[in-house]
Amino acid sequence: MLLLVGLGNPGRDYAGHRHNVGFMAVDAIAARHGFSPWKKQFKADVCDGVLRTPEGPKKVLALKPQTYMNLSGEAVQAAAHFYKIEPRDIAVLYDELDLAAGKIRAKTGGGAAGHNGIRSIAAHLGPDFRRIRIGIAHPGDRARVTGHVLGNFSKDDQQWLEPLLDAIADAAPFLAMNDDVRFMNKVAVLRGEPEEKPAKKDAKAPAAQPKES
């Protein structure tokens, strides 16, 4: 089973925030592939379904922690423990300041790079889960980071955001195959861009994400 985690903060006030793009991506996947209705479990909203892949159908549990970002690991650990899911079968989708808007990068393991949700999951499970980073772009000024991350996507952002979420939903079966490179490439092709490759370690540490309440 794949545990598909989207990160964000719960509640209407946060729903349109750039920091909630992980929630948005998991919502798009669940809707596209006909997952069950969402329910409350593991301090999270969860639903389940099947992704049909070239290797056959793969069971998926989708999870959106409802603990606020900096406690996300509590929900992920509870679900992983209950279903006996190993870190290699956990894919976490979340926002990344230091990627251009709409870019996707996938990797397994590594540091939190200032992201409180990733830091929490690593504290509960160790670092060896899969990370699907969704670029929201840096505002260019460190003083503007908090307002940018904890602000709503703009009207201009919708021109790339909606097609990106559609592409993520279409490419999701590759996540169930544990083939994150093909997932990235499929998203790029669907968006009319060159195929992506796994990112190497950054020469500089990315700017810190703001703390959430």
Give the C-alpha separation, 98 to 109, whole Å: 17
Q: Among 17, 19, 33, 148, which one carries the catalytic annotation?
A: 19
Residue type, 132: I
Give the C-alpha separation, 162 to 32, whole Å: 13
Q: Are 212 and 145 in contact (CB under 8 A)?
A: no
Which tokens belong to 113?
Answer: 């790079």
Distances (CA, A) of 15 to 7, 33, 53, 116: 11, 22, 30, 18
- Which single residue is written with the structure tokens 């929490």? 120
Q: Kind of pairing, strands 44-53 and 39-41?
A: antiparallel
- The reply to whether 81 belongs to the active site is no
Nearest to 139 by CA among 210, 45, 46: 210
> Which residues are part of the catalytic machinery?
19
